[in-house]
A = this chain, B = another copy of it.
Amino acid sequence: MEAKRVAVAGFGNVGKGVIEILLQKQIQELKLAKIVVKHPDKSRPFNVDPNLVTTDFATVVNDPTIDIVVEVMGGIEDARSLIMDALQNGKDIVTANKAIISSGAEIFSLAAKQRRIIGFRGTFVGCNTLIHDLSLSAGRIHKMCAILNGTCNYILSRMSRLGVSFEQALKEAQEQGYAEADASEDIDGLDTARKIQILSGVINNTFNMPSDVFCEGIREITMQDIQYSRELGYIIKLVGMVEREDNSATIFVRPVLMPQGSLLASVEDANNAIELEDNFGVVSILVAPGAGTYPTAVAIINDLLDIAHGDTSMMPTSSTPIILNDAGDIEARYYLRLTVIDQPGVLAQITRILGDHKISLASVIQKAEVSAKAVSVIVTTYTVREKELRAALAKIDHLEVVKAKTMVIQILA
């Protein structure tokens, strides 16, 4: 087998890892043929033959000897047009670009037309080991519940284990290099949302991935929530969830309470995990490191090897969109943290409204003082439809005795 000639566009963190492996590891199926960079004179962590380097996408796209283009430059418009041009010229593509893949119907269609392969393991690097089984078993997976963002999992683990505040934990995540200076993509759940959009496409065998899913981040989780959850036997994790029904799926990203001692709850720090439940109820879980130059670069190398071996099984083949169920129709138990005036009769007002909406309470804790004037009341409900709960809370949050917006967190059974 002749080695595939690979061009790498981008020499940032991930690009550096890919280039380093291609240069140093003597992988017989792959040969580094070109590197596209913005700044050719920038100093690099290792020596690269200057003949390999160009600043011009066109030299790569128009070079008939290049077989595969690795897009790791980031951004959207330039990256997308590079990918489209490369596909048009008959090249296979590997990318770790979540924004592009999660809205990638156009490029997947072109790839199908051109009989080219798009490798995208790097978009969910943490559990990319499962890619063949996720795609080849598409249709057999009933439910996926996944921890996909190392920064959020690190923050929640630190808060839970060491009792540090959200702000402190975020600062530590930034110092550890898990979180960017602007970590909002991570902590507002957008990174997880993109990954779960992509994974929902994979397990539904469609490249027409949902463009918008219900998404809540972890910014409003307080130490109180962590502590009360623990008292109730739970741990808080940010998850992406896909639950398939016959012709539709419920997909969301949100923090949830999950039972202590469950395998998913034991996934700590920057690890990622995917829990799968098949159509027959059998559950398995894959855990893997979710971040870092090296895992992402290795994910890309694995895509390159699959392409070199002619393996197309990781590619979704259908263009049928997934019909999304209304997140308001989620039926679950919920954790509520109410902030109320500490005076007689307050709880009665609240429980009356919940009762009017046929919402039964599983437990009530009233303990910590938020201030001289307000206390937290923690309520867990029995199973209720989310929109019914939201309707009740709209009224409750308007009561004069309620002093802040009520915190709502879904409980995973």
A residues within 8 Å of B by Cβ? Answer: 21, 25, 127, 129-133, 136-137, 140, 263, 266, 276, 278-289, 294-295, 297-298, 301-302, 305-306, 311, 313
8 shortest interchain CB distances as A-B pairs:
A284-B288, A132-B132, A280-B298, A129-B284, A132-B133, A132-B136, A286-B286, A282-B298
Q: In whole Å, how far is A409's beta carbon from the nearest beta carbon of chain B?
A: 25
Do B276 and A306 touch across chains, with their CB atoms under 8 A apart?
Answer: no
Please give 11 more A-B residue pairs, beta carbons under 8 A apart, in addition to A133-B133, A140-B302, A287-B287: A132-B133, A136-B311, A278-B298, A280-B294, A280-B301, A282-B294, A282-B295, A283-B288, A283-B289, A284-B289, A285-B286
- The residue on B at minimum CB distance from A306 is B136
The reply to whether A282 and B286 form a contact with Cβ atoms under 8 Å apart is no
In the complex, the chain B residue whose C-beta lies closest to that of A267 is B263
Chain B residues within an 8 Å CB radius of A289? 282-284
Subset of 22 A-B contacts with CB under 8 Å: A129-B130, A129-B133, A129-B276, A129-B286, A130-B133, A131-B133, A132-B132, A132-B133, A132-B136, A136-B306, A137-B302, A140-B305, A280-B294, A280-B297, A281-B294, A282-B289, A282-B295, A283-B288, A283-B289, A284-B287, A284-B289, A285-B287
Q: How far is the CB of A303 from chain B (nearest CB, A)?
A: 11
CB closest chain-B residue, reference A261: B268
Q: Which chain B residues border A266 with CB–CB below 8 Å? A: 266
Q: Determine the chain B residues whose CB is within 8 A of the CB of A302 once the complex forms.
A: 137, 140, 278
Alpha-carbon distance A137/B128, docked complex (angstroms):
12
Interface centre among A131, A282, A298 (most CB of B within 10 A): A282
**Number of this chain's copies in the complex:** 2
CA distance A137 to B21 in the complex (A): 17
A310 to chain B, nearest CB (A): 11
**Once the chains are docked, how many angstroms separate the CA of A295 from the CA of B276?**
13
CA distance A311 to B137 in the complex (A): 10
Closest chain B residue to A27, Cβ basis: B279
Task: Compute how far the CA of A391 lies from the CA of B222 in the bound complex, rounded to whole angstroms.
Answer: 59
| A280 lies within 8 A of B133 (CB) | no
Closest residue of B by beta carbon distance from A279 = B25
Report the bound CA distance from A288 to B279 in whole Å.
15
Closest to A296 in B: B282
Bound Cα distance from A132 to B130, whole angstroms: 8
Cβ-defined partner of A287 (8 Å) among B130, B133, B263, B311: B263
Which residues on the B side are within 8 Å of A294 (C-beta)? 280-282
Shortest A71–chain B CB gap in Å is: 20
A311 neighbours in B (Cβ, 8 Å) = 136, 313
Determine whether the beta carbon of B284 is less than 8 Å from that of A127.
yes
CA distance A42 to B289 in the complex (A): 52
**How many whole Å from A358's CB to the nearest CB in chain B?**
34
Q: Residue among A279, A286, A302 with the most chain B CB within 10 A?
A: A286
